[in-house]
Amino acid sequence: MSGSKKSPAVDEHADLWLSPDELSSWLSVVRLVTRLPWAIDTQLQRDAGLSMIEYQTMAMLSETPGQTLRMSLLAEQTSTSLSRLSHLVKRLESRDYVRREPDPADGRFTNAILLPDGLQALQAAAPAHVAYVRHLVVDNLTPERLRRMGQDAERILGRIDSPAR
Amino acid sequence: MSGSKKSPAVDEHADLWLSPDELSSWLSVVRLVTRLPWAIDTQLQRDAGLSMIEYQTMAMLSETPGQTLRMSLLAEQTSTSLSRLSHLVKRLESRDYVRREPDPADGRFTNAILLPDGLQALQAAAPAHVAYVRHLVVDNLTPERLRRMGQDAERILGRIDSPAR
């Protein structure tokens, strides 16, 4: 309203707003984090009746000695709250894929254990899941760009997990 | 078991499984797409009582002429199903942030319109939201790496949206 002077609201945050290039890249990242989990979930549900996080949970169990992990550690590693993980594991229990028991080493903790039916379901789901991950991401980027995307993801995760904020 | 011969299950998919480097990068991407929406949601809910997708919806409306968009287009642009978007817009309506009306040009369609209270809430939420996006992503990567991450996201989105699969 007064010549070249911008409104106070704009001035106050003049260095804050994203440039058009920054905004465009950020909105691509927003679409990726919205759509990629949806795409992976859709494929896994259709082919194996599993969500991405159910698959990740069972895959993690399958790779540990005794196919056993503490629920709290599993929650941390799958970036899930303990209460959401409990619901999820209850669903997997009802299908005999997983069972829970008190940690023999310390009864205050609960362990989740992958059962033979769960391992079988995981092995049956894996080929189509991995093929889809290759199609969408791994074979769609050069090895160098995939590596960078992983590194940049870790940089962002580092700030998310930092208690500084 | 039988010398160097691997199990049939392994042989069958020998070219399919991810290498350790590929798996490591992919799991970083999985953690990113799981944790980043959660982090942005947490900040927006705490500071403004909005989810990321509610913010995106209102931001998109704020940038269109008449601050109006067809619900179907809005669903497409926010990567949301129409039924999920309807729930979301209903919540925004109950706060007088948005209203819906039949499209005057074609009554089979419904438009969503940003209301003054919604614009005000968006403007109040924007500085802290943008600062957090800068902290986590935009100022955390070099301009070149941010640009590449956006490009790689678009490559992946291109395959997600391709009807070929």
Average pLDDT rounded to a whole number, residues B28-43: 94
B9 part of a folded domain: no
Q: Distance (Å) from the C-alpha of residue A39 to the closest C-alpha of chain B?
A: 7
Structure tokens at A121: 């379901």
**CA distance linking residue B91 with residue A48, whole number of Å:** 34
Domain contains B99: yes
Is there a contact between B70 and B111 (Cβ–Cβ < 8 Å)? Answer: yes
In a domain? residue A111: yes
- Selected for mutation to probe chain B from A15, A18, A25 (highest B CB count within 10 Å) is A25
Q: Cβ separation of A16 and B131 shorter than 8 Å? A: yes
- Average pLDDT of the segment spanning B157-163: 86
The answer as to whether B119 is a domain residue is yes
User: In sequence order, which ranges of B15-97 are alpha helices (DSSP H)?
Assistant: 20-48, 52-62, 71-77, 82-94
Give per-residue pLDDT as tens, B48-78: 999 999 999 999 999 999 999 999 999 988 8
- Determine, yes or no, domain membership for B156: no
pLDDT at A1 over 90: no
Q: Which residues of A touch B79 (CB under 8 A)?
A: 31, 34-35, 38
Q: Which domain holds residue A120?
A: 51-142
Torsion-angle region of B3 (φ positive above 0: left; ψ -120 to 50: alpha; else: beta): left
| Cβ count near B154 (within 10 Å) | 15
Q: With 80 as the cut, is the pLDDT of residue A163 above it?
A: no
- The CATH number that applies at residue B107 is 1.10.10.10
A11 or A77: which carries more pLDDT confidence?
Answer: A77
pLDDT tens, position by position, A125-151: 999 999 999 999 999 999 999 999 999
Query: Each residue of A13-46: pLDDT tens digit?
Result: 556 889 999 999 999 999 999 999 999 999 999 9
Q: Which of B38, B56, B143 sits opposite A30 (nearest CB)?
A: B56
Number of domains composing chain B: 1
Q: What is the pLDDT of residues A64-116, one digit of tens each?
A: 999 999 999 999 888 788 999 999 999 999 999 999 999 999 999 999 999 99
Q: Would residue A149 count as lying in a domain?
A: no
Task: Check A21 against B143: CB less than 8 A apart.
Answer: yes
Is the ipTM beyond the 0.90 threshold?
no
Residue B32 lies in a domain: no
Shortest distance between the Cα of A48 and any Cα of chain B, in A, equals 17
Judge whether A94 lies within some domain.
yes
